[in-house]
Each structure stands twice: as structure tokens, then as C-alpha cells.
Amino acid sequence: MKAQYTLIKNARLINHGEGLPQNCSILIKKEEGQPWRIAEIGKVQTDNIEGSVFTYDARSHYVSAGFTDLCTHACEPGNMSDETLISVSKAAAAGGFTSILTTPDTVPCSDTAGVIEYVISNSKKSECRILPSASATMGNGSLKPAPVEELMKSGAAAVFATSYVDPDTLLDLMKLCREKSYPLIIKCSEPCKYGSTDDVPKIKEDIATATAIILAKESGCKIHISCVSSRGAVDIIRRAKDAGANITCGTCPQYFIFEKHDVLFFGNNLKLMPPLGTEEDKIAVIQGIKDGTIDCISSDHTPRPESSKNAKNVTYEKASCGMISLQTLFSASYTHLVNREIISLQRLIEMIAYNPAAILGRQGELTVGGVADITVFSASSRDTHEIKREDNKSRSSNSPFFGQTLCGTVIKTFVGDELPA
């Protein structure tokens, strides 16, 4: 079987560590039994290539390594009326993501090899690469450790823990992850419960963050702290990094765009966990992004049914937590960070493509010989579009962005495991 080729021409490449975008073409190649790989970057000549070459004209739009998300609630197995592996992959691909790490809070949760294998098997026809995470504990919250080594051998891409894991259990887990070099992600928030999230003080996130960092220092384990939302947590992480702690952290668009008073305007779609904070919390998150304390931006994509979120009889106190955000993350981040000159476009791509991939020990840049996970997008203050409900690819519609006008548009994603079309 002859090799297949696709040429992406007229691209403006943003690549890690290469400064300003470069005008170039990218030739990708597929050989039998292999994923699509990058064959050449630059002024590509295709005259000597045997066989046909499919050409995709990027029309001077930007091109980068595919985006990677570190916190996607995929709902399958379990709550498949809210989301499935296929539907979440469609939302992810529409948002520029070529890889997503799914959280372990499915039904049943990913505390057995069978669930990890189920996710891998049932995502073979997905539109992006779906990477299951291993639950740190049995039932995703008990004191009993999950068989992490078995889960990682079954194909899990990282270990995912929550702050309500017992400290002794978490310390033992960190020692194992250090020994085996497993990526460990910790979300420092409590599970969503009925009632107002105003009843959850931000100091709980601060204490959980400090505890995770202390245990990481004791164990020598590198950790990633997910979904940072409080001023205290940002300050704790900044000081720990300044002291040489081996940690990374991420936040989500909701925490640098909204504050808790915005619930009055957007209603139950902004009931989240961790909950929205004050204006001071939002400013601290923005400053953490600006000064490099915060390494990446994740979606915390959490599909919820209309019956538990926005039905007429659902009060804020009774509503479930979470919002969908894979499809809007790039546009929301570009609008509120790059368009407002808080960070550069290159820095944004670093936060949603290179850094999250590197945290998982995966490729986050476009290099010759590397897998061709590629995102094509436009980025301009003049490139505005309304977020419409009818364009939503998720099975759920709990988003505060419907009806808003944002800048920046994802045009196409290429996933190296699939044939570009």
C-alpha cells in the first residue's frame, strides 16, 4: 500500500518555542499501520511524491498543535442521556481539541480495568482522541485505594484524584505515582451537593490546595492541580512555585470571566464546583495567568440534563453543578484574555496545547516525525460570531455562552489517527 499524503498550505504556524507565527506549509503522511505523521514543515514541494496529494488550504489562518483538555466529564458509561463518548468528541473537535482526558466520575467509575478498557474500545470512532483517567480510589471518593497500577496498564493516561481523598491515601498514591512516573491530577474541590454553592467557602479550596502541595513535597511527586478558582489557591501555588515546588496548575474560562454575582444574570448555568468566587478571586486568577503561575486552561466540561439544571421548577439550590465548555473554550479564552491584551496568542496556545500535553507526557508541538494532531483557527478582534444553541455538538445545553458574541473561531481539526477530510 502506497503512503497517503495531505498538504496543509498557506498556514501561519504557531509552535512552541518558535516565537512569532511563520508562514509555511505542512505535509503529513500516512503509512500502513501508522498514524498520520508530519513529514515536512516549511516550503513544501510535492512534485516528486508518488500518488495523489490531498490539499487543504488554510487560507492564511493560524495552525498549531491540537488542543488538549485535562478535565472532561464524558458521562459514559452511565449518564449517556447527558453525553456520550461520541457526542463529547464532536464537541471537543468543534472546539479544536484533538485529545481530551476524561474524569473518573462515570457510573461505574473508572476504578476497574474493565471501565478503562470500555472507554478505549467505545471511543474508536470518536472525532478526537479520548484518554481515560484512573480513579485514585474505589468509587471515586472512598478511603480504599483503587488498583492504580492495573488501571494504568489497562490504558489510563493519568491518575485523577479529588481533595476529599484521605491525606494518608493521597500520600501513598503520590509515592506510587512518583515511583512509576504516572501523571497525577488533583481537583481541589468538593463534590456538588444540593444547596447554594455560596455555602462552600473558598478557604476549603485553599486548604485542599495547600495540603496537596505539602504532600507532594513530602512524597517527591510532581502533581497538577486542576480547576483553580480562588485568590488563596493562586497565592499558595505561586509561593510554592517560587520555593521550587514541582507542580503545575490549571484553571477554566468560567473562573476568569465570571464572578458569583453573575449568577443573577446567567442563572443555574453558573452553579459550578468549585463555585464562582468574588471579583477579587477572578482578578487573582487573571493575574495568575498573566504572570505564569497558572500553566494551562481546561474546560471542566460537565454536561447536565435540562431536568436538573434549567427546568422551570429547578431552583438554584436544587440545580446540579457544572457547565459545558469544550466547544467554547478557545473563543472565550481568546476574547477575554488575548483580545484584552492580558496574554499573547502564543501564550494562549501554550496553555491549551503544549502545556497540557506535556503534563500528560505527550507531544504538544508540531515536529517532523510527530503525530499530526493539528488545529486550524482564526484569531482576530474582527472575527466575531454568536454562540448559538443550534450549533452545539454536546448532548446537553447547560452553557452560559449561548447568545454571547465571542472572537476567534476554530475552523478544523486534524487527528493523526484518522484520515484528514
Over residues 8-28, the pLDDT tens digits come to: 999 999 999 888 889 999 999
Can you tell me the distance from the alpha carbon of 336 to that of 338, in angstroms, rounded to the nearest whole number? 6
Q: How do the residues of the chain divide into helix, strand and coil, expressed in percent and rounded to 5?
A: 35, 25, 45
Can you tell me the distance from the alpha carbon of 168 to that of 147, in angstroms, rounded to the nearest whole number? 16
Instruction: Establish how many alpha carbons lie within 13 A of residue 374's alpha carbon, considering only the half-sphere containing its beta carbon.
Output: 36
Structure letter (DSSP) for residue 302: -
The mean pLDDT of 65-74, rounded to a whole number, is 98
CATH 2.30.40.10 occupies which residues in the chain? 4-63+369-414
Residues paired with residue 141 on neighbouring β-strands, in sequence order? none
Evaluate if residue 304 carries a pLDDT over 90. yes
The mean pLDDT of 176-191, rounded to a whole number, is 93
Residue count (the chain): 421
Can you tell me the distance from the alpha carbon of 174 to that of 184, in angstroms, rounded to the nearest whole number? 8
The mean pLDDT of 278-303, rounded to a whole number, is 98
Q: How many CB atoms lie within 10 A of CB 241?
A: 17
85 alpha-carbon distance from chain centroid: 15
Where would I find the H helices in 224-325? 231-242, 253-257, 263-266, 279-291, 306-309
Can you tell me the distance from the alpha carbon of 71 to that of 74, in angstroms, rounded to the nearest whole number? 9
Given a contact cutoff of 8 angstroms between Cβ atoms, the answer to whether 93 and 394 are in contact is no
CATH 3.20.20.140 occupies which residues in the chain? 66-359
Can you tell me the distance from the alpha carbon of 139 to that of 254, in angstroms, rounded to the nearest whole number? 28
- CA distances 149 to 77, 105, 156, 167, 175, Å, are 21, 18, 10, 19, 12
Classify domain 4-63+369-414 by CATH architecture: Roll (2.30)
Structure letter (DSSP) for residue 336: I
Structure letter (DSSP) for residue 66: P
pTM above 0.75, yes or no: yes
The mean pLDDT of 255-280, rounded to a whole number, is 95
Given a contact cutoff of 8 angstroms between Cβ atoms, the answer to whether 90 and 377 are in contact is no
Owner of C-alpha cell 510532581:
222
Does CATH number 3.20.20.140 belong to domain 66-359?
A: yes
The mean pLDDT of 387-416, rounded to a whole number, is 96
**Per-residue confidence band for 191, with pLDDT thresholds at 50, 70 and 90:** low
- CA distances 191 to 12, 52, 322, Å, are 42, 53, 11
**Per-residue confidence band for 326, with pLDDT thresholds at 50, 70 and 90:** very high
**Per-residue confidence band for 82, with pLDDT thresholds at 50, 70 and 90:** very high
Phi, psi of 176 (to 5 degrees): -65, -45
The mean pLDDT of 388-408, rounded to a whole number, is 97
Instruction: Render pLDDT for 341-370 as a digit per residue (tens, 0 to 9).
Output: 999 999 999 999 999 999 999 999 999 999
The mean pLDDT of 315-331, rounded to a whole number, is 95
Radius of gyration for the chain, computed over Cα atoms and rounded to the nearest angstrom? 21
Mean residue pLDDT across the chain: 93
| Percentage of the residues of the chain whose pLDDT score is greater than 90 | 83
Q: What's the pLDDT at 193? A: 59
